[in-house]
Every structure is written in structure tokens, then in C-alpha cells.
């Protein structure tokens, strides 16, 4: 039995209300569980870059960065930092065994040619139709589009990582994005600090709740249409 919640107006919660939200590292761990053996994966700036630290044992994935690195490893320790080995976010990274380094033109040819199996992106807003806004907030200085517009068009599967609500307690999972769009109808799943949701049929389908977070809390923080089945699980990281 499924219930569909349609809420044109967000039920606001006080920013001071205590919810057991996931850390950035826990979000990255849960994303890493979506990786499959043999995948070519692009990790966006922010939380997505942390996924490289949590690739499950027993599988091999090749992590790609738009600036021309295929085969990123975990973040370096203080002893093995190479200032010239950076990702698209200008963070120092390591190269895994078998890594390849090439120019950004070849990197984007890989993306545009549909050779990336999974992309993990951050976002300012996502809506119930799978649209994503991630590159611009009017009157604020942000890093801009970067390679996101190519990734949302070329990747086979896209997962978005984000906080469920902004610092004012207002939902970032909407009926319709308010900010300028990066891509249309392209997001498959969203992993927030509160939940894992799948986007399909014009709604957010709740699959998992973060430990300590209730369904009612997720309802209150979700402005878009929310579908809740009787098989919602508590999120685990193993």
C-alpha cells in the first residue's frame, strides 16, 4: 500500500529542531554502496569527491575527473601529497593502479560519448521530475556550471547528493526547481542527510530513512510529491 503526499506549501520546521542527520562522510559511504564492479564513475565537487574513500572491497571502479584523470584513488595522506595531482575541484588526490592522465578535451569526449556509467553530483535543488539546479544562485558567487551540463546529458545514471533542506529549514526537494536548471529529467536518485529517494513517475519515492530520522520528519522537509511505501528501510552503510 502506497501513499502519495502532495504539498504545495512546505511545512516549515525550526532550524533548531534536532534531527539525526547524516554527516558528509556517511552520505558518501551510502553512495559508494551504489557502485558496481567495472563502473566508470564521475564524482562531482563537494560530497561526491568523498566517495573515492569508500569504494567497497572486492570491486573495481575507475573514477573519472573532468580535468583529465581516469583512475582516482582516495584522498592522499600528508606523507604522499602531490600538488600536481588534482581533481576538477582543485583538491589533491591520488592515482590508482592503472590510472590514465589525459587532457580535458579527451575527458569530455568520454563524458559526451556516453562512456560514464554513473555520475554523482551535488545540487542546490532537485525536483520531482528529475530536474536539477546546481550552478547558479542569483546575486551570489558560486563556481558555475563546470562540466555538469555535459555530465547530466551524457551519463547513464545520475545520483544527487545534498542536504534535504537549507539552513532556514526550507526544502530543497521541490515540485519544481526555482533556480536556473543544469539538466532536465536526468536525476535518478537523491541521497540526502535524511533519506535515500528514487525519482520516478513525477514523485520522490522514499526508499530509506537515515538512522534516527522518522518518516514524519522527512515528510515535513520534502516540498515535492512524496510516495511512501510500506517497505521503507533504515539506511545502513555495509
* pLDDT tens sequence for the chain (238 residues): 555 555 544 444 444 455 679 999 999 999 999 999 999 999 988 899 899 899 999 999 999 998 899 999 888 988 889 999 988 888 899 999 899 999 989 999 999 999 999 999 999 999 999 999 988 777 676 666 677 778 888 888 999 999 999 999 999 999 999 999 999 999 999 999 999 999 999 999 999 999 999 999 999 999 999 999 889 999 998 8
| Domain interval for residue 42 | 3-234
CA dihedral 94, 98, 103, 107 (to 10 degrees): -100
Locate 124 and state its grid cell.
542546490
Instruction: Output the domain CATH number for residue 26.
Output: 3.40.1080.10
Q: What backbone phi and psi angles, to 5 degrees, belong to 220?
A: -70, -25
Locate 171 and state its grid cell.
526544502
Q: Give the predicted TM-score (pTM) of the model.
A: 0.86
Locate 29 and state its grid cell.
559511504
Split into its structural domains, the chain has a count of 1
| Residue 238 designated active-site | no
Selected catalytic residue, list 25, 60, 66, 79: 66
Locate 9 and state its grid cell.
506549501
pLDDT, position 154: 83
Amino acid at each position: 500500500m502506497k501513499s502519495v503526499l502532495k504539498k504545495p506549501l512546505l511545512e516549515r520546521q525550526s532550524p533548531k529542531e534536532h534531527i539525526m542527520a547524516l554527516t558528509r562522510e556517511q552520505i558518501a559511504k551510502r553512495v559508494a554502496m551504489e557502485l558496481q564492479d567495472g563502473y566508470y564513475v564521475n564524482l562531482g565537487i563537494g560530497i561526491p569527491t568523498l566517495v573515492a574513500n569508500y569504494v567497497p572491497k572486492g570491486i573495481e571502479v575507475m573514477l573519472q575527473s573532468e580535468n583529465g584523470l581516469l583512475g582516482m584513488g582516495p584522498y592522499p595522506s600528508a606523507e604522499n601529497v602531490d600538488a600536481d595531482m588534482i581533481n576538477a575541484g582543485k583538491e589533491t588526490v591520488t592515482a590508482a593502479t592503472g590510472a590514465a592522465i589525459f587532457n580535458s578535451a579527451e575527458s569530455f569526449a568520454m563524458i559526451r560519448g556516453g562512456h560514464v556509467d554513473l555520475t554523482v553530483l551535488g545540487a542546490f535543488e532537485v525536483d520531482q521530475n528529475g530536474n536539477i539546479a546546481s550552478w547558479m544562485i542569483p546575486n551570489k558567487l558560486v563556481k558555475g556550471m563546470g562540466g555538469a551540463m555535459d555530465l547530466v546529458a551524457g551519463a547513464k545514471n545520475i545520483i544527487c547528493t545534498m542536504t534535504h533542506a537549507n539552513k532556514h529549514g526550507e526544502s530543497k526537494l521541490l515540485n519544481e526547481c526555482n533556480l536556473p536548471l543544469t539538466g532536465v529529467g536526468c536525476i535518478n536518485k537523491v541521497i540526502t542527510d535524511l533519506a535515500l529517494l528514487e525519482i520516478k513517475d513525477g514523485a520522490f519515492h522514499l526508499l530509506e530513512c537515515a538512522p534516527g530520522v522518522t518518516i514524519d520528519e522527512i515528510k515535513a522537509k520534502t516540498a515535492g510529491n512524496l510516495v511512501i511505501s510500506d517497505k521503507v528501510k533504515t539506511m545502513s552503510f555495509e
